[in-house]
């Protein structure tokens, strides 16, 4: 994971999750709503938003430290990575961090209901 982070982001340190979006010019809402949404026309084909890489070693360590299951930590990291693919970025400042945390909580609540 450290090597991927170094090669792709120029950060020579390990991390728990990395996201690499394929699209850069769309707002978060535009990425998830096809242009013909609600028009009654046939569904749009699935689109690839990007790649999410999760460090299993770090996942296991964090789950233990936080005190929840590895499954819960997996979902937390997956949601975090997914939100990055949609354009959310907690590294842009405190307001963005708060917005992303709120979205993470909303997504995790939905996943827990499944």
Domain ranges of the chain: 2-112
pLDDT confidence of residue 58: 97
More confident residue, 84 or 24: 84
The DSSP code sequence of 23-45 is --SS-HHHHHS-TTTTSSSPPPP
pLDDT confidence of residue 19: 96
The DSSP secondary-structure symbol of 46 reads: P
CATH code for the part of the protein at 2-112: 3.40.390.30
Task: Write out the two tokens for 93.
Answer: 């400042």
What are the pLDDT digits (tens) for 57-96? 999 999 999 999 999 999 999 999 999 999 999 999 999 9
Task: Write out the two tokens for 6.
Answer: 């170094």
**Cβ(20)–Cβ(57) below 8 Å:** no
For residue 9, the cross-strand partners are none
């Amino acid at each position: 994971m450290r090597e991927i982070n170094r090669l792709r982001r120029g950060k020579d340190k390990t991390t728990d999750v990395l996201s690499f979006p394929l699209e850069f010019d769309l707002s978060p809402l535009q990425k998830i709503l096809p242009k013909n949404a609600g028009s009654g026309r046939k569904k749009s084909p699935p689109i690839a938003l990007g790649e999410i890489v999760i460090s299993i070693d770090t996942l296991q360590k964090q789950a233990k430290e936080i005190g929840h299951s590895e499954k819960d930590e997996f979902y937390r990291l997956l949601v975090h990575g997914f939100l990055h693919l949609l354009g959310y970025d907690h590294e842009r400042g405190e307001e963005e961090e708060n917005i992303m945390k709120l979205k993470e909580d909303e997504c995790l609540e939905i996943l827990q209901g499944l």
